[in-house]
Amino acid sequence: MFQKILIANRGEIAVRIIRACKELNIETVAVYSDVDKDSLHVQLADEAVCIGSRQSRDSYLHMENIITAAIQKRAEAIHPGFGFLSENAAFAELCQSCNIAFIGPSSKVIEQMGNKANARALMIEAGVPVVPGSEGKVHSYEEAVRIAGDVGFPLLIKASAGGGGRGIKLAKSMDEFERAYNMARSEARVAFNDEAIYIERFLEHPKHIEFQILADKYGHVVHLGERDCSLQRRNQKVIEEAPSMLDDSLRKNMGECAVKAAQHVGYENAGTIEFLVEDGVFYFIEMNTRIQVEHPVTEMVTGIDLIQEQIKVASGEELSFTQDDVVIDGHAIECRINAEDPKQGFAPSPTKVSGLHVPGGFNVRMDSFLYTGYQISPYYDSMIAKLIVKASTREQAIKKMHSALSELIIQGVKTNQSFCEMILRHPMVQEYRFDTKFLEAKMNVLLEYDDE
C-alpha cells in the first residue's frame, strides 16, 4: 500500500480523497492555487504545496508543477479526482515516466476512450451496441452526407475529442446538415484543438444510464450497478440516483455489456460506461476513465468505498470481491448544490459563506468543502456541495431528500437548492416519467418557486 498520495485536485473531491486516505493510514499532499490557500482540502491534508496562480492552466492543469510537488514531497502516487487532469493521457504518461503511480487507467486506455469516435469504433469491435451512425471518425463532408442518408434524420454531429456538451450540433434535415457539420467542426477546433467529428442518430427521448465498473491489474472486472443521470441541464447533470427503474433483464444485459467494454480495452481502476436507453433499447455513448462526480450514490447502495478501491487497485491489490458479492441495497439520490442563481439564468454566485448548517440524520451525507467564512472562488466550477441520501425505496429517498434540502442552510450565497427541490416535487419525476430533455422542457415551471 502507498505511504503518501498527492491529490491533484481541489474542492469537495480533494476533501473526499483525503478522508479515504486517512482511513487507509496514507499521508496526503494537497496542491493549491494562490486563491485556494484557505480551502478546506489544504487544511485537512498532512502537507500542502502551492503550485501556481488562480488560472487553472497555471496551477491545477500545470503538469510539471504538480509532478515537481509530488517528487519534492516523495509522494508515491497521484490521485487526479475528476476534471482537470483526470482524463489527460499525457499526464498519466508523465506520472509513469517519473515512477509515480497514476490512480486511474493507463495512458493508452485514456487516449483510446477519450476520443469519442475511437471509443465508438472499439465498442463496435467488442460487440457493444452503439447509437446508429458512423463507425468512427468522419473523414470528409461527402462521407458525412452518405452516412446521413443511410442513418436518417435527426442527427447529431459530435466532436471526437468532445466533452461537457461542447462540439455537438443537431441537424433535423439535410437542409440543416451542412451548416451543423461546419459549426461542429469549428467548435471542436476551438474547444479541443481537434476538428474531427463523428455522427450519431439523435434520440428524441432517451434516458441517460451509466454503469460503475471496477477493474484490477489481474483481469478481474465487476460492475456496481447503474445510476440514472437523466436530469440534466445543458448536458450537465443536476440530480442522479441509483439504482434506475430499469427492468431486471435490461439491467442484466447492460451490466454485462459494461463489463465486456472494460475487458475489451484492458481497463484498470474505476470507470463508467455511459448508455442512452430509449424504448427498451440501450446504446453505448462514452466511457469516463475516472471517478465520477456522482459516485456517492453507488457507494450508498453498495456499501463499497470507491475511492479506497481505486487506491487499492492502483497499489497492485486484487479486487476483494466478485460480481456475485455486489448487492444493491435501497435507493440513493444525489443533488449537486451549485453556487448559482437559477432565476438569473443560473449566473454564478462566487460570494462569501456567512453561515452554514449541514443536514444530518440516518443515511444523509454531504460532500463539500464549505465552512463559515469561506470565500467561494469565481475561477473554478460552481459546484460547492453534493447532498446525498439513501432510503429503502425511491419514494422514501425522495422524501428524505426533501427533508435534507429543507434543512440545508448556506447563507450569503445564491444556490440551486430550491431548484433541486422543485425538480423532485414534479409529478413526472416522482413517477419516474422523465428523460434527458425533461429539465429544458419544464424549466419555466421549475423556476416558479418563492424566494426564501
* Residues taking part in catalysis: 290
Quick one: 361 exposed, middle or buried, by C-beta within 10 A (0-12, 13-18, 19+)?
Answer: exposed
Report yes or no: 377 and 400 within 8 Å, Cβ to Cβ: no
| Full strand arrangement of the beta sheet holding 101-102 | 47-52, 27-33, 4-7, 77-79, 101-102
246: helix, strand or coil: coil
Q: How many CB atoms lie within 10 A of CB 18?
A: 24
Cα dihedral sign for 151, 157, 161, 164? negative
End-to-end alpha-carbon separation of the chain, Å? 49
Q: Judging by DSSP bridges, how do beta strands 347-348 and 355-357 pair with one another?
A: unpaired
Type of residue numbered 379:
Y
Q: In the numeric block, which cell numbers belong to residue 202?
A: 439523435
Q: Which triple of cell numbers denotes residue 226? A: 447503474
- Going by C-alpha positions, the residue among 119, 136, 138, 116 that lies closest to residue 128 is 119
DSSP 133: B
User: Which residue do the cell numbers 463523428 mark?
Assistant: 198
- Cis (ω within 30 of 0) for the bond into 154? yes
Provide the angle, in degrees to the nearest 10, between the axes of the packed helices 174-192 and 141-151.
130
The x, y and z cell numbers of residue 325, run together, are 458479492
Whole-angstrom distance, CA of residue 435 vs CA of residue 276: 10
The C-alpha cell 439504482 sits at 243
- The per-residue DSSP string of 411-449 comes to ETS--SHHHHHHHHHSHHHHTT---TTHHHHTHHHHT--
Q: What is the DSSP letter of 228?
A: E
